[in-house]
Amino acid sequence: MNASPSVGSEFSKGLAGVVAGRTAICSLEGDLRYRGYAIEPLARAGDFEEVAFLLLRGELPSPAEHAAFSARVAAAARGLDPVVIDALKTLAAACPTASPMDALRTGVSMLGQIEDDRAPGTPEAVLAQAERLLGQVPALLAAWVDLAAGRTPAAWPEGSIARALLERLTGRIPSAAHVAAFGTTLVLYAEHEFNASTFTARTIVSTGSDMHSGICGAIGALKGPLHGGANEQVLDTLSAIGSVDRADGWVHEQLAAKRVVMGFGHRVYKDGDVRAKLLGGICREMTRGTESQPLEDLADRVERIMLERKGLKPNLDWPAARIYHALGLPISVFTPIFVVSRVSGWTAHIIEQIGDNRLIRPLSLYTGQPPREYLPLGERQT
């Protein structure tokens, strides 16, 4: 029989404010820290491989460890199983407009089948799985973009994940400045404590399930517009407004209709998202004097209005969407890029959950009918 909450048990809708576990990976107390390191220097360095190593192993890598780790991740990207590519090719031919998020979820599921991943292995084995996924997921995304466009997937380029993925998604050799900005977004999206997708992954593996199942569930959670999908809607919002002179009227209309303006407010940060502050400055520097300047002027106006009227500050999705637009990336890959980055945090949490596991099983507060008697079918009135 399922347990019921005891008298006096507190109910918190959406588990808001509820401490659901312990973690040594990320802290949001005071400021955002990965394994004890403040986010600002990590973000400004923009080295996604460095941060992924830190999240998975608990310490920053030495130069030799960084080089070896990066090489393993790149090898996984280049060695994507052709069986998966062939299956995605069939899916792309059948439905080229399918969501890249669905393609990533399907691709990760197939990778799990190929590896015969049924349950967590040794600590060394799950760590190796995590490293492979760090390379495989961006390669899956790039392959799907090519296949959906009717192209044969190109070879995985040399260089960091940020550089190689940006080249694959844009078809151009990126500048050092663009790689740095893109790398910073990957660092900032890498990890964020017990968010919906991370908690989903931990819940799945708490049952004794495998890492690939945990990642598939996390991708499904991130797909939602109230979580990862918000970054795609930011650009839709700016496009809908169109120009600075229309900003006041548009925001007033949304607020009067009690509609959510995507890119503002955060469940945890009440005084503004530190990640948005960091990336917002980089975004303004990168776009100053470019064709993206009008969009930045519009974004700045919307920020001012939202602060004045609602006291809300931007979250990470607000500047990230504008940077991705300035980099020439299509909206359809904004949330999948979030997946590429957050795989580092998800796998770190999966490893942590496996290492000190207890089945995650909360209680619910019943609000249905009071106890009543069952009548056989023939005795019920018509």
d(CA 341, CA 187): 7
- With cut-offs at 50, 70 and 90, classify the pLDDT of residue 162: very high
| pLDDT score recorded for residue 232 | 85
328: left (phi over 0), alpha (psi -120 to 50) or beta: left
Q: What pTM, to 2 d.p., does this model score?
A: 0.92
| pLDDT score recorded for residue 5 | 52
Beta-ladder partners of 264: 314
| pLDDT score recorded for residue 11 | 84
Residue corresponding to tokens 């109910």 = 11
For the residues 196-209, what does the mean pLDDT come to? Answer: 97
For the residues 18-32, what does the mean pLDDT come to? Answer: 90
- With cut-offs at 50, 70 and 90, classify the pLDDT of residue 9: low
Question: How far, CA to CA in Å, does 293 sit from each of 179, 234, 243, 249, 324?
Answer: 20, 16, 12, 21, 14
The string of pLDDT tens digits covering residues 308-347 is 999 999 999 899 999 999 999 999 999 999 999 999 999 9
| pLDDT score recorded for residue 257 | 93
Q: Which residue ranges form the domains of the chain, and what is each CATH number? A: 40-176+194-223+331-355 (1.10.580.10), 230-326 (1.10.230.10)
- With cut-offs at 50, 70 and 90, classify the pLDDT of residue 19: confident
- With cut-offs at 50, 70 and 90, classify the pLDDT of residue 175: very high
Q: What percent of the chain has pLDDT over 70?
A: 97
The string of pLDDT tens digits covering residues 211-260 is 999 999 999 999 988 788 778 889 889 999 999 999 999 999 999 999 98
The separation between CA 114 and the C-alpha centre of its own chain, rounded to angstroms, equals: 24
Is the torsion defined by CA of 93, 95, 97, 101 positive or negative? negative
**Shortest CA distance to 26 belongs to which of 43, 44, 39?**
39
| pLDDT score recorded for residue 46 | 95
For the residues 155-167, what does the mean pLDDT come to? Answer: 97
**Which residues are within 8 A (CB) of 236 and not within 5 positions of it... i.e. 6 or more apart?**
262, 331
- Residue 129 pLDDT > 60: yes
| pLDDT score recorded for residue 2 | 44
| Helix, strand, coil share (%) of the chain residues, nearest 5 | 60, 0, 35
For the residues 135-148, what does the mean pLDDT come to? Answer: 98
Task: Print burial letters for 135-156: b (CB count within 10 Å at least 16), e (below 16).
Answer: bbbbbbbbbbbbbbeeeebeeb
For the residues 165-193, what does the mean pLDDT come to? Answer: 96
- Would you call 4 exposed, middle or buried from its count of C-beta atoms within 10 A (0-12, 13-18, 19+)? exposed
What residues act catalytically? 227, 266, 317
The order of strands in the sheet holding 26-27 is 26-27, 33-34, 37-38
Residue corresponding to tokens 């990965």 = 34
- Residue 119 pLDDT > 70: yes
Question: How far, CA to CA in Å, does 261 sit from each of 125, 197, 312, 323, 352?
Answer: 43, 22, 10, 19, 35
The overall average pLDDT reported for the chain is 93
Question: Who wins on pLDDT, 14 or 70?
Answer: 70
The string of pLDDT tens digits covering residues 27-73 is 998 789 999 999 999 999 999 999 999 999 999 999 999 999 999 99
What tokens were used for 85? Answer: 């590519």
| pLDDT score recorded for residue 1 | 38
Is the torsion defined by CA of 297, 299, 300, 302 positive or negative? positive
d(CA 153, CA 160): 19
- With cut-offs at 50, 70 and 90, classify the pLDDT of residue 18: confident
| pLDDT score recorded for residue 270 | 67
- With cut-offs at 50, 70 and 90, classify the pLDDT of residue 8: very low
